A and B are shown apart, each in its own frame.
Chain A
C-alpha cells in the first residue's frame, strides 16, 4: 500500500512539477516575447516621445544650475578644507569670551570666516563642542557660518545684480536668527538632548596636505551630490508646476514666504548656490526669496540628517523645528525693514 501510494504520489509530484515548469516557460516566454516586441517596436518612438521640449528644458535647467554652482562649491570647499586642515580648533576656542551670552554673538559673527556650505559647518561645530566651546556658541556658529561667509555673500550679490539690499538683508537676517538660536539654547537647552560624538573626530582627522586633500575631496563630493539633488528639484519645480499654481502663492505675500521657506527645507540647495535658485524664482516677493536664502542654510533635509548623525535625533528634531520658525520670523522682520 505504502509503496503504491508513494509511487502514485511520486508520479503526481513529477506531473505537477512538469506542469509548473511548462506554465512558467509559457508565461515567462510570452512575457519575454512581449517585452522584446514592445521594446523593439515602441523603444525608439518612446525615446523620442519622452524627449519632449519639456524634458529637454528640464535637462538644460538642471545642468545649468549644476554648472553655475560648481565653481562656487569648489571655492568654498577649498577654503573650508584648508581651514579644517591648517587652523587648529583651539584658535577658535581662545578667541571666544568665557561668558556664554557674550560668546554667542561673537561666535555667530565668527561664522564669517568659515567659507563653506552647511555640510562643512556641522562637523566643525561638533568638534568645537568637543573641545570645550559652549554648545550655545558652537550652535550659533553652526547656523551663521554657511549663511554669512564671504563666498555666499558674493554669490548672492552676483545672483541679485544691482540689489545690494538683498545681500545686506541676508546677512542681517541670518546673523539675527543664529544669535537668537544660540541664546535660546543657552537659556532653554538641555545637555541630555545633545549626544556628542565620542572618540574619533568627526571632522577631517588628519592635518596638513593629506588632510587638506581628504577634506576637499569629501566636502566637494558630498556637497556636489546635494547640489545635483537641489538642481533636479529646482528644474522639476520650474518645469512641472503650472504657472497658475505659483500665481496663487505669488499673489499672497504670506503664502509665498511660507511656501519658499518650506521649499528651502525640501530642496536642500547648498548655501553657496541657493542664491541663484532664489533669483530664478522670479515670481515671488523679495521677502519670500530672502526667507528661502535664510532658512535654506539653517534647516533642510540633508542638514537634519547630518545633525542627527552628529548630535543625535532628540537634538536634531527640536533644533531644526525651532530654527525654522526663528529663521522665517527673522527674514520677515528684516525683509519688512530692508527690502
Chain B
C-alpha cells in the first residue's frame, strides 16, 4: 500500500470521475452539463497517471523523488487519502440530487430584476417553461405575456403550511453547492389531491395572476392546473440559472 498508495488513489479518483461523466449522466446531479468534456478528460488523465505511477513504483529508486520534507513520506501526502471519501461515494452509492430538503432550507428567492418587457414566448400549446422563467414572467413582465397561454412546468413537489403545494425546481449556476429555489403554487381542480413531497410531476395549466407587478404579493406565482402527471426524475434535475 505504501508503494502503490498514490497509484490506487489516482485510479480511484479517475474511475469515480469517469463513472459519473462517461458512463452515465450522474454528473448532472452535481455540476452543470457544460463540464462533461472536462470531467471525461480529467478522468482519463487521472487513470493514465495512475498507470504511469504504478509502473514507476515498481522501481523503488524513484521513491526518493518524493522525499521533499513537507510532512509526508514516499507514500505520498497523507491528506490525499481523503480523496477516497468522495471517490468511493461516487463509485458505490452516488449521493442523490438535492431535493425538497434543500429547497425548503434555502428560502425561495426570486431573482431580483426590474419590471419590463420580455421576448415573445415560443409558440406551441402548451408551452414548456422553466420555473425560473415562469416566475420572472409572472412577476416582472409588464406585457403580461403569460396571459391566455397554457404552460407546462416540471419539478418536484413541496408542501406549504396550509395545504398548498408547489412545483419546485432548484437552479444551479455552477455546482450543487450554489443551488437556489424556484417554485410555483399549484391550484385548480387537478391540484385537489396533492402528490407526496419529492414526487416529480409535470403540471399543465394557466397562469393565475396575483398581486401587483413586481411586488412581494405576486410571489410565488400561481398556476391553475388542468392536469398533474407524475413523471420520472429528469436526467438533469436542476435548471440552469
Contact = CB atoms under 8 A, between A and B. Distances in A.
A276 interface: yes
B89 interface: yes
B68 A235 contact: no
Is chain A's interface secondary structure helix, strand, loop, or mixed overall? helix
A53 B101 contact: yes
B112 interface: no
Given A71-B35, A228-B86, A221 B68 contact: no
Interface string A46-72: 000000011011011111111110110
Contact of B177 (A206, A222, A277, A302): A277
A225 B77 contact: yes
Contacts of A217: 6, 10, 49, 53, 76
B17 A67 contact: yes
Contacts of A335: none
Q: Is the interface of B mostly helix, strand, loop or mixed?
A: helix
A138 to B, nearest CB: 17
A228 B68 contact: no
Contacts of A59: 89, 95
A214 B70 CA distance: 15
A159 B45 CA distance: 24
B177 A221 contact: no
Contact of B76 (A123, A158, A218, A310): A218
B121 interface: no
Contact of A67 (B27, B76, B97, B98): B27
B83 A228 contact: yes
Contacts of A249: none
Interface stretch (B135-143, B149-157, B168-176, B215-223): B168-176
A67 B71 contact: no
A203 B174 CA distance: 34
A221 B13 CA distance: 10
A102 interface: no
A175 B102 CA distance: 37
A189 to B, nearest CB: 22
A332 B128 CA distance: 44
A213 B13 contact: no
B113 interface: no
Given A60-B176, A226-B79, A203 B68 contact: yes
Contact of B70 (A57, A280, A310): A310
A235 B178 CA distance: 11
A53 B10 contact: no
Given A70-B42, A205-B65, A276 B174 contact: yes
A243 interface: yes
A275 to B, nearest CB: 9
B175 A64 contact: yes
A247 to B, nearest CB: 10
B159 to A, nearest CB: 14
Nearest to B180: A282
Contacts of B177: 61, 64-65, 68, 234-235, 238, 276-277, 280
Interface in A193-245: 197, 200-206, 210-211, 213-214, 216-218, 220-222, 224-226, 228-229, 231-232, 234-235, 238, 243
A74 B53 contact: no
A47 to B, nearest CB: 12
B29 A225 contact: no
Given A57-B102, A210-B56, A63 B82 contact: no
Given A56-B95, A71-B38, A213 B175 contact: no
A205 B68 contact: yes
Nearest to A73: B42
A306 B70 contact: yes
A210 to B, nearest CB: 7
B178 A221 contact: no
B85 A60 contact: no
Contacts of B76: 217-218, 221
Contacts of B78: 225
Given A53-B101, A60-B97, A217-B10, A65 B175 contact: yes
Contacts of B85: 62, 228, 232
A279 B98 CA distance: 18
A60 B29 contact: yes
Interface in B44-76: 45-46, 49, 52-53, 56, 62, 64-71, 76
Shortest 10 CB-CB distances between A and B: which pairs?
A225-B79, A53-B101, A221-B80, A64-B176, A59-B95, A64-B30, A68-B175, A280-B178, A280-B177, A71-B38
Given A56-B96, A210-B62, 9 more contacts: A57-B101, A60-B176, A61-B98, A63-B86, A67-B17, A71-B38, A202-B69, A217-B76, A280-B175
